[in-house]
Every structure is written in C-alpha cells, then in structure tokens.
Amino acid sequence: MSTQRKAVALISGGLDSMLAARVIMDQGIHVEGINFFTGFCVEGHTHAIRKKDRAKPKRNNALWVAEQLGIKLHIIDVIEEYKDVLINPKHGYGQNMNPCLDCKCFMVHKAVEWIRAHDFDFIITGEVMGQRPMSQRRDTMPVVARESGADDLLLRPLCAKHLPPTLPEREGWVDREKLLDFHGRNRKPQMALARQLGIEDYAQPAGGCCFLTDRAYSDKLVDLWQARGEREYQLDDIMLLKVGRHIRPNPRFKLIIGREEGENRFLEGYRKQYVSLCPTSHKGPLVLLDGWPEEADLELAARITARYSQGRDAEQVTVAVRQGDGEERELTVAPMPPGEIPADWHV
C-alpha cells in the first residue's frame, strides 16, 4: 500500500490558495491549512472596532475557506518574528511598506519548520506567476523556494507547469499533468476553475492581504518611526494605526482621536498606557496622546480635542486630561479653528 502523502497549504482566505489546496486534495493528498498572523492582516480588525460594524461581524476568510474545503487550519502567531521581516527586508519594499518578497520567504520558511515538526511531506501555495509585481514574478519565485529553505518541497499547483518539476511531481505523489499553467494578472482562469470545482462563494481578490499595501496605513507607520527615531513597534502601536484620526503637531507627540463611539470605546482600553483627553463640558471624542508631550503640548492637545467636540463653535470647552496613572485635571481652552490646524499635521 502506498503511503498517504501530506501537504500543508498556505491559506490566505482568498480564492487562489483555496483553489491550490483543492487541486491537490483532489489528487488524494491529505491537506491541512496554515495561516500566519503578522498583526497587519486585514482579517477582522477595524471591523470589530467601528460601532456600526460590531452588529454584523465579518467572517475570518481563512477559517471560512478551511471549512469549505473540509480541512484543518492552524493559525500561527508570528507577530514578534515578523518585526525583523518588516524592519529589515533584504529585498526592500513594494509600492508602500509591504515587504512582499521577504514576507513570502518568511512564511514559506515557517511552513518548512511546521512540516518538519508535524511530519508532512510538502508545501503548497496559491501563487500565480506574474500576478504580483514583487513576489510572484518568474525571477522571484525561485528566490522564495531557495531562501525559505523549501527548495523542491514547494509546489505551486496553479502555475506548476511554468516551473521545473518539484519533488512531489517527480516522485509521482501528484500528477503534474493535472496541475495548472495560470499566468499573469487575468483572473478569469481562476474563476473558471472555481466554477468547474463547484466553488461559488469566495472572497473577492483585494489589493493585498495586509495593511502594509495600504498607502495611508504605511504613511502612519513611517511617521511613527520618524517621530521615535527608531524603526520599532509593539502590537499596540500597529493596532492603533488602524484606529482614529491621527494628528501630529510636533515630533514629541501625536493625537489619536476617536471618530465614533466604537473607536472611542476601543481607545478607552488604552487609557492606562497613554495620556488621554476627553471633553467634559461638551460631548466629544476620546483622544490618546502617543509620545512624550510636554506641559505646553497638553494645552495644544486640549484645543485640538475641543475642535473635534460638539463644542467646536463654543468660546470655551473644558477638557479632562488624564495621566496613565489616573491623575486627572481639567483645562478650559478655546477650540482651535479648523483653518489653524495645518494640513501637514494630519498623518
């Protein structure tokens, strides 16, 4: 009797990785999914924060795909290890702060560690040659295989016919003839294959699987590093980059201003770690100060906070300023007129 071969599939939640896993399952291979949480993944987050979205939480697409396929999914927390990938990418960044090539090498490398620990035979991904400008090019796909240490244990079922045969193909564990030759940005072949396999519902392909491909998010990350004078971050920092309006009057501090009730509630949870402001004479947002504000900065922060409160047209607004240790005092200030907040303060 032949041995049951086992593959782990990198599942992002999109259509491509779903198809790749399915194509290999259909060849009788036992497949389980793996999904990496870097802290920047689009799945879930901001959705859970905004009040209007709390009522109908979005599904986690990776879990949903695994359920559709009927496979197990292992979600791995790589927040700490990922810092080095983002801070020092050997191959640089894409259009924004997305280090896609290093990221792919890292994830496939983690998958190599995983198959060794769990006695699996090979790794599959939903990569399609020529689909992504950085990590899925003819010249970079071998880089991923080599630098991740996966070498010929890395099989990309959707474009395998454009690549040299991998070990699973050479050994006959999978039939190369039944693999695909997708190429380029045209997504029609994927959609046709989905139809053929009876897959009707799937997440629409987006620009990228993480916030690092987003321009506004990347700008906030760069601003944070510049202000701190070092390229470092904690999970709280990168979560807060997804929330609120960010205004930086000077390198010492920035304001993170809740834009609605859900964001205010989310920011509440950080009041022990940050100086926070909240109008008391009028309804208004909760504001966190990130950095090291000086005494004079507090008044400026209070005036900006007042500007975003319902007292924006009042002559004076009273704002409570609370330190992380709970010490609180009130400042009564004139709201800053909108025209006086320079455009370049908005991060």
Partner 1 sequence: MNTKHIDARRLLCPMPVIRTQDAVADMQPGEQLVITCTDPGALKDIPAWCRINGHRVVETRQEGDDIIITVEVGA
Binding stretches for partner 1 (CB under 8 A) = 35, 37, 41, 43-45, 47-49, 54-55, 57-60, 62-64, 66-67, 70-77, 239, 269
Least distance in angstroms from the C-beta of 40 to partner 1: 12
Q: Considering CB distances under 5 to 8 angstroms, the limit depending on partner class, which of partner 1, ligand SF4, none binds residue 210?
A: ligand SF4
Yes or no: say if 238 and 221 are a contact pair by the CB < 8 Å rule: yes
Going by the DSSP 8-state scheme, the letter that residue 38 receives in this structure is: -
- Under the binding rule (CB under 6 A), the answer on residue 194 touching ligand SF4 is no
Residue 186 structure tokens:
């045209």
- Under the binding rule (CB under 6 A), the answer on residue 11 touching ligand SF4 is no
Q: Please give the residues from 135 up to 154 whose contact with ligand SF4 meets the rule CB under 6 A.
A: 135
Strand order in the sheet with 317-322: 245-250, 253-257, 287-291, 275-279, 317-322, 328-333
Residue 41's beta-bridge partner residues?
210
Yes or no: say if 6 and 120 are a contact pair by the CB < 8 Å rule: yes
**Which residue's structure tokens are 């045209």?**
186
- Under the binding rule (CB under 6 A), the answer on residue 209 touching ligand SF4 is yes
Least distance in angstroms from the C-beta of 164 to partner 1: 34
* Residues touching ligand SF4, count (CB under 6 A): 11
- Under the binding rule (CB under 6 A), the answer on residue 227 touching ligand SF4 is no
Q: Considering CB distances under 5 to 8 angstroms, the limit depending on partner class, which of partner 1, ligand SF4, none binds residue 57?
A: partner 1
Please state, in angstroms and rounded to a whole number, the distance separating the CA atoms of residues 68 and 91. Answer: 35
Q: Which is nearer to partner 1, 47 or 183 (CB)?
A: 47
Least distance in angstroms from the C-beta of 214 to ligand SF4: 10
- Under the binding rule (CB under 6 A), the answer on residue 208 touching ligand SF4 is yes
Least distance in angstroms from the C-beta of 216 to ligand SF4: 15
Radius of gyration of the chain (CA): 24
Burial class (CB in 10 A: 0-12, 13-18, 19+), 312: middle
Q: How many CB atoms lie within 10 A of CB 7?
A: 26
Q: Please give the residues from 97 up to 116 whose contact with ligand SF4 meets the rule CB under 6 A.
A: 98-100, 103-104
- Under the binding rule (CB under 6 A), the answer on residue 35 touching ligand SF4 is no
Q: Which is nearer to partner 1, 38 or 190 (CB)?
A: 38
Least distance in angstroms from the C-beta of 199 to partner 1: 17
Q: Which is nearer to ligand SF4, 16 or 297 (CB)?
A: 16
Strand order in the sheet with 73-77: 73-77, 30-37, 6-10, 122-124, 154-155
Please state, in angstroms and rounded to a whole number, the distance separating the CA atoms of residues 159 and 270. Answer: 46
Yes or no: say if 209 and 107 are a contact pair by the CB < 8 Å rule: no
Residues at the site binding ligand SF4, with contacts judged by CB under 6 A: 98-100, 103-104, 135, 208-210, 212-213
